Every structure is written in C-alpha cells, then in structure tokens.
Amino acid sequence: MAVDRVKKLQGKEVTEKSQEYLSDKKKEDADTVEKDALIQKYVTNPPEKPVTKTGSSGLSKGKISLLIFVVMAFFVGTGYGVYVMSIPANNSTGSTIDVNASAFSTVNNTTVNQTANQTNIIPTNTAVTTPITTTKTTVTTTPSTTTTKNKNKTKTGGSTGNSTKK
C-alpha cells in the first residue's frame, strides 16, 4: 500500500494488477525489489535511541562502603578487645593508698637506756621499725613501759593507712 501511494505521488500508473497480482513471480519479485528500494529511499525510521545502561542489580556504592566500614569496625573492635584482655595483670604498686597495719609488737628499742636518762618513750603503736629480735631483748631489761609519757599515743585499730588516694 505504501508503494502504491508513492507511485501515485510520482505520477506513475498504478496498475490494479499489481494490487491483485499474486501468481506471477517475476512481477512479484520486481515489485518486492521496487518496494524495498522505495522504502529505503522514502521511509525514514526513527533514530535509534541510545541504549541506556541499566543500574547494577546489586548494592549501590554507598551501601557497599557502609558494609565494608561495619565489617572493618567489627574486626578492629574485636581485635582490640582481645588485645586488652591479653595484657598481663599489673602487679606494680601504682596505688597511692598506704597501709600500715602490722602483726608485730612495736615496743621502742630506746627503753634500754632508761636507766641513764628519763627518755620520753613514745610508743606509736603503728609503724615503728622494731624487728622481733630487738623487741625480745627490751622486754627483759625494761619490763615496764608504763612509765612512759604517752603524749602522742595514737589510736590504732583501723590503723590501715593514710589517705593519699588519687
């Protein structure tokens, strides 16, 4: 039909036979060739649209980056936690809390000289450095320390230290 219209426009005769012609192969072939030629010459196809690339079927870049960050954070955190737990216990005395409780008797060794001078023996009852051996001897020589003037008799008992806690 398009070919007939073109022929009419060109002023060519349009034989009715061409519209009814089916049995003659030569005319049909010629007609077909002519048709193709005319189509190529006059029928314009719309320009092909550029093939647009479809989006990737997987995760977007942002989601992939987020996933990588979470995975890295997981392993970094786990690794740091294992590292901290594996640090050996610190046995150094970093504490500033002082403890002076003692199981030893703290009689002052200077009682030996009491016969010469009336010394003011002040048993502190706390941390006086008197090893047990010296304590033993003083007991035999000066049986009484009750004569001492206990001016500074400190309270023992909780004697557990001085507060210098940070």
**Letter for the amino acid at 115?**
T
Among 95, 113, 118, 120, binds other proteins (CB under 8 A): 95
Per-residue x/- track, 4-43, other proteins (CB under 8 A): ----------------------------------------
Among 3, 6, 107, 111, binds other proteins (CB under 8 A): 107
CA dihedral over 22, 27, 44, 6, signed as positive or negative: negative
| Cβ nearer to other proteins, comparing 56 with 91 | 91
**Cβ within 8 Å of residue 31, ≥6 positions away:** 3, 18, 21
Q: What is the DSSP letter of 96?
A: -
- Cβ burial, residue 46 (10 Å; 0-12/13-18/19+): exposed
Residue 103 in contact with other proteins, rule: CB under 8 A: yes
Residue 58 in contact with other proteins, rule: CB under 8 A: no
Report the C-alpha gap between 56 and 46 in whole angstroms.
Answer: 29
Residues making contact with other proteins (CB under 8 A)? 66-67, 70-71, 74, 77-78, 81, 85, 89, 91-107, 123, 125, 127-133, 135-136, 139, 145-146, 150, 155-165
